């Protein structure tokens, strides 16, 4: 899920007509002092971080003067909370609170619909409230077609013992919070505490909203950078990987970096899993054999080969990993030969120089194993492939043995067979766009091809021969809309059984720039000569 900061959530509440405290978001101590004077003292200064219990760690401070606001903001902005630096503080008017309530919206997976929660006691977690004051909590499932009616909202509040004008005021906030949550496709939205002030106003004193990660792309107005609930600020590679995922709905691609700044030889490996349970089992196996996991990656739900290829390229972009390990559940229904071709393309482009062990268990595993074994045997580092009957522990043991025996060499790009087109007739390249890239056939080379393997290997059969040259059998628009499933077979098979005339370009936004930066940093470190004492 993607989380919003308190100030972002409160702006959504304000737009829906829910009253929030007067406040301002600032990034400097002086900004906090200025905001305090403009809002009117006293004020509260609140760290804008994705965590609960801010008061207990000094993330919420009160100030009676502008100087106190400056000092409090300076302290808070110097904090790191659960690996996150505090970059902003919210300066708000201090409310004269008479009473606190809890109000929440959640998607209940067991009921498969949203649920509204209300408590006449606020200021703490709803679980604690329900445990100690069960009669103070009301819960109601909401029909997603009908929405939350006004009478339902009043009944929810009434069941906690509240009557009269206050019941009406609170019920209106329930209705509006539901509209906020529905509008941004939230998985959860909480106002805690929702307060009644001394002058009789109902005000949202705090707010937490999390948005369904699959809905983020529909809400650019929220400014969510990456729809992942990370325990650290997103890294450059995580941003690059998320950009791949958000632009291609086919299957899933989760990539999370678990370690950075390590050196070659320290036992960190690039990990590539498929399926949650199988991935966890495989991670346990590699750690038992003394490896450390540089990243977690999951490509499941039957992604296209192009997506799997991009995942492999991103994993291999991590500097100083000692090996590559791919292992999923072992019973995958997705066709493993598509995965095999994706890995072949990635490994050959990298001219792989670190050992790789692949456990491609599932549908088409025998063909997948053949593709890997036949098309990677000339790479600088060993690549071994196993099937579902080979345990993750055995595969991890083999990786241990390969790493211990292998001396890594410097990686150079593009280890792809090349066949010159000598005495070729003058043919223009033939190219067409696919969903996430471009396919180009060098017809000068294709004219010399006897096998026409690209047409034979095309799984969706979108290619045909015209004047003995490969062309589309469907329209270019159909190919771009998904007629080409991006299985990569035409390119990979052409390398070995054709004339190397097919080329599939699958850009990965930001990856080349990232690699250049890593290279410059590495060269700068290596150029530093220790000064003799």
Question: pLDDT tens digits, residue range 97-140?
Answer: 999 999 999 999 999 999 999 999 887 777 777 787 788 999 99
Instruction: Encode pLDDT of 451-468 as tens digits.
Output: 999 999 999 999 999 999
Distance CA 526, CA 198 (A): 65
Q: Whole-prediction pTM value?
A: 0.84
Helix axes 150-158, 164-184, angle to 10 degrees: 120
Task: For the domain made up of 22-94, give the CATH fold.
Answer: Dna Ligase; domain 1 (3.30.1490)
Strands 80-81 and 43-47 turn out to be: unpaired
- Rounded CA separation 511/450 (Å): 37
d(CA 41, CA 46): 15
DSSP state of 57: G
Nearest alpha-carbon partner for 486 in 528, 439, 448, 443? 439
For residue range 254-308, list pLDDT tens digits in order. Answer: 999 999 999 999 999 999 998 877 889 999 999 999 999 999 999 988 999 999 9
What does the pLDDT read at residue 411? 46
Mean pLDDT of 197-219: 94
Which string of DSSP letters, residue by residue, matches 164-175? HHHHHHHHHHHH
**Which pairs count as long-range contacts for 372-378, CB under 8 Å and 24+ apart, including other chains?**
372/340, 372/343, 372/344, 374/496, 375/344, 375/348, 375/492, 375/495, 375/496, 376/344, 376/347, 376/348, 376/352, 378/415
Distance of CA 409 to the CA centre of its chain: 32
Residue ranges covered by each domain of the chain = 1-18+95-230, 22-94, 236-405, 430-505
d(CA 519, CA 532): 27
Strands (E) across 418-495 are located at 430-434, 437-441, 463-466, 469-472
DSSP string, 185-250: TEEEEEEEEEEEETTS-EEE---EEEE-GGGGGG-GGG--S-----SSPPPHHHHHHHHHHHT--S
- Do 465 and 454 meet the contact criterion of CB atoms below 8 Å apart? no
pLDDT tens digits for 169-197?
999 999 999 999 999 999 999 999 999 99
Residue with the bigger pLDDT between 341 and 424: it is 341
Residue 53 Rama label (left phi>0; alpha psi -120 to 50; beta): left
CATH topology of domain 236-405: Rossmann fold (3.40.50)
Instruction: Please work out, in degrees rounded to the nearest 5, the angle formed at the alpha carbon of residue 460 by the alpha carbons of 325 and 470.
Output: 105
Comparing CA positions, the residue from 325, 331, 321, 322 lying closest to residue 300 is 331
Query: According to the model, what pLDDT value does residue 408 have?
Result: 53
- Find all residues with CB under 8 Å of 456, minimum gap 6, and list them: 493
| Annotation: CATH topology of 430-505 | Alpha-Beta Plaits (3.30.70)
- In the prediction, which pLDDT does 25 show? 98
Fold of 1-18+95-230: D-amino Acid Aminotransferase; Chain A, domain 1 (3.30.470)
Among residues 258, 253, 333, which one has the least CA distance to residue 294? Answer: 258
pLDDT-based confidence at residue 413 (cuts at 50, 70, 90): very low
Task: Tell me the torsion sign for CA atoms 311, 316, 318, 321.
Answer: positive
């Amino acid at each position: 899920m993607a989380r919003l900061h308190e100030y972002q959530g409160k702006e959504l509440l304000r737009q829906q007509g829910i009253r929030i405290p007067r406040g301002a978001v600032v990034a400097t101590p002086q900004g906090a002092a200025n905001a305090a004077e403009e809002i009117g003292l006293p004020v509260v200064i609140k760290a804008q971080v994705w965590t609960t219990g801010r008061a207990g760690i000094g993330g919420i401070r009160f100030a009676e003067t502008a100087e106190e606001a400056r000092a409090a903001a300076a302290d808070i902005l110097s904090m790191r909370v659960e690996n996150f630096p505090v970059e902003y503080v919210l300066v708000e008017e201090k409310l004269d609170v008479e009473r606190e309530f809890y109000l929440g919206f959640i998607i209940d997976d067991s009921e498969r619909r949203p649920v509204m929660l209300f408590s006449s006691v606020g200021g703490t977690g709803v679980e604690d409230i329900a445990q100690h004051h069960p009669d103070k909590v009301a819960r109601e499932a909401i029909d997603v077609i009908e929405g939350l009616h006004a009478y339902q909202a009043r009944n929810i509040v009434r069941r906690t013992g509240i009557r009269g004008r206050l019941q009406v005021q609170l019920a209106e906030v329930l209705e509006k919070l539901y509209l906020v949550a529905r509008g941004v496709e939230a998985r959860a939205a909480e106002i805690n505490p929702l307060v009644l002030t001394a002058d009789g106003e109902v005000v949202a004193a705090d707010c937490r909203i999390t948005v369904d990660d699959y809905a983020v792309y529909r809400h650019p107005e929220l400014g969510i950078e990456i729809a992942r609930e990370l325990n650290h600020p997103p890294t450059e590679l995580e941003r690059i990987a998320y950009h791949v995922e958000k632009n291609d709905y086919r299957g899933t691609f989760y990539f999370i970096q678990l370690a950075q700044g390590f050196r070659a030889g320290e036992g960190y490996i690039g990990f590539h899993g498929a399926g949650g349970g199988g991935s966890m089992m495989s991670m346990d196996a590699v750690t038992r054999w003394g490896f450390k996991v540089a990243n977690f990656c999951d490509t499941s739900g039957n992604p296209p080969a192009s997506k799997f290829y991009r995942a492999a390229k991103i994993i291999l972009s991590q500097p100083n990993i000692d090996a590559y390990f791919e292992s999923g559940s072992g019973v995958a229904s997705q066709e493993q030969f598509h995965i095999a071709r994706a890995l072949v393309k990635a490994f050959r482009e990298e001219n792989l120089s670190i050992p790789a062990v692949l456990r491609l268990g599932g549908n088409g595993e025998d063909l997948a194993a053949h593709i890997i074994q036949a098309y990677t045997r000339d790479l600088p580092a060993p690549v071994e492939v196993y099937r579902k009957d080979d345990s993750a522990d055995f595969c991890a043991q083999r990786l241990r043995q390969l790493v211990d025996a292998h001396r890594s060499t410097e990686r150079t790009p593009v280890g792809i067979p090349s066949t010159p087109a000598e005495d070729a007739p003058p043919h223009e390249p033939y190219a067409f766009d696919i969903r996430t890239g471009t396919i180009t056939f060098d017809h000068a080379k294709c004219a010399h091809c006897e096998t026409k393997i690209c047409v034979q290997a095309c799984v969706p059969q979108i290619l045909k021969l015209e004047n003995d040259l490969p062309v589309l059998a469907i329209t270019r628009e159909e190919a771009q809309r998904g007629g080409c499933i991006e299985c990569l077979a035409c390119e990979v098979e052409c390398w070995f059984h054709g004339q190397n005339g097919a080329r599939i370009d699958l850009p990965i936004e930001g990856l080349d720039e990232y690699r250049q930066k890593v290279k410059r940093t590495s060269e700068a470190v290596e150029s530093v000569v220790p000064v003799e004492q």
